[in-house]
């Protein structure tokens, strides 16, 4: 299991925890009529808050581990994700400080809770949400539409670059020759062998890796033959 997959699974747990926090808070503080036992909801909210903190901490550590592993410069989306995560962390610390020590600000706690929930949702959406969308087919257009391209059409490196950015860039660095974990793709088809599999560096073995991946890499059965050719054409120029 890769770091990204583990981070995705834990992000789902964080999302559920954030929704539980919002539900219990709204039920206790936002309703005049009581549908549930207030004391039980309060206990659930407190236990869930502890769970939320440790799940968030685990995600933060995984995120830092991934950045340290890849040594890649953060994309604008990743930088925005980090900013949201910092906002969640700082507000969590401030909320705990208000609850434990600075009681004169206690009236602000519900507002802080709402802001933390929305920032947490944004944090999950900008990472796990993007990861899920990136694994989906590049287009909702039926594959028959792409298959209409005639064989005489030359592969398009520009389209291959767009495919790489959408489908591959979350795990592979096109500008690196030897990123940790064999993630570097620069010169991938210019050396004697492929870095991860040790197979000869040929277009055929790239196709084989896309269809029947080696180790933890996911398969890409949704890519059409024309799209694979475009992707290989782009990789030839790395």
Residues 87-111: pLDDT tens digits? 999 999 999 899 889 988 888 899 9
CB contact at 8 A, 21 and 52 = yes
Count of C-beta atoms within a 10 Å radius of residue 206: 19
More confident residue, 5 or 203: 203
| Per-residue pLDDT at 1 exceeds 70 | no
CB contact at 8 A, 94 and 112 = yes
CB contact at 8 A, 109 and 99 = yes
CB contact at 8 A, 238 and 186 = yes
Under 8 Å CB-to-CB from 169, ≥6 apart: which residues? none
The CB-side HSE value for 156 (13 A sphere, CA atoms) comes to 11
More confident residue, 65 or 89: 89
Alpha-carbon distance 25 to 33, whole Å?
14
More confident residue, 148 or 191: 191
pLDDT above 90 covers a percentage of the chain that reads: 21
Question: For position 193, what pLDDT does the model report?
Answer: 80
Q: pTM of the predicted model, to two decimals?
A: 0.55
Alpha-carbon distance 187 to 25, whole Å?
54
Question: For position 54, what pLDDT does the model report?
Answer: 92
Question: For position 152, what pLDDT does the model report?
Answer: 46
Q: What pLDDT digit, counting tens, does each position of 147-186 carry? A: 444 444 667 888 888 888 887 877 777 777 654 445 677 8
Average pLDDT over residues 200-212: 83
Question: For position 20, what pLDDT does the model report?
Answer: 93
Kindly list the domain boundaries of the chain, sorted by start residue. 3-135, 143-236
Average pLDDT over residues 73-95: 87
More confident residue, 6 or 216: 6
Alpha-carbon distance 232 to 237, whole Å?
9
Mean pLDDT of the chain: 80
When the candidates are 3.30.479.30, 2.60.40.420, 3.40.50.2300, 2.60.40.10, the CATH number that belongs to 143-236 is 2.60.40.420
More confident residue, 45 or 166: 45
Question: For position 118, what pLDDT does the model report?
Answer: 93
Question: For position 180, what pLDDT does the model report?
Answer: 46
């Amino acid at each position: 299991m890769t770091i990204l997959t583990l981070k995705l699974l834990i992000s789902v747990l964080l999302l559920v925890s954030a929704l539980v926090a919002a539900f219990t808070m709204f039920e206790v503080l936002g309703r005049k009529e009581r549908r549930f036992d207030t004391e039980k909801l309060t206990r659930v909210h407190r236990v869930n808050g502890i769970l939320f903190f440790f799940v968030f901490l685990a995600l933060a550590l995984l995120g830092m581990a991934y950045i340290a592993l890849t040594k890649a410069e953060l994309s604008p989306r990743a930088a925005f994700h980090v900013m949201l995560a910092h906002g969640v962390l700082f507000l969590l610390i401030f909320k705990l400080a208000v609850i434990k020590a600075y009681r004169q600000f206690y009236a602000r706690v519900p507002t802080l809770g709402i802001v933390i929930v929305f920032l947490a949702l944004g944090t999950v959406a900008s990472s796990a949400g993007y990861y899920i969308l990136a694994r989906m087919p590049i287009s909702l257009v039926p594959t028959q539409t792409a298959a209409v391209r005639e064989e005489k059409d030359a592969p398009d490196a520009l389209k291959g670059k767009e495919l790489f950015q959408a489908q591959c860039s979350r795990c592979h660095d096109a500008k690196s020759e030897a990123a940790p974990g064999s993630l570097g793709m620069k010169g991938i088809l210019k050396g004697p062998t492929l870095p991860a599999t040790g197979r000869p560096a040929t277009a055929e073995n790239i196709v084989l890796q896309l269809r029947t991946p080696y180790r933890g890499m996911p398969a890409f059965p949704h890519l059409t033959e024309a799209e694979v050719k475009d992707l290989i054409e782009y990789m030839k120029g790395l």
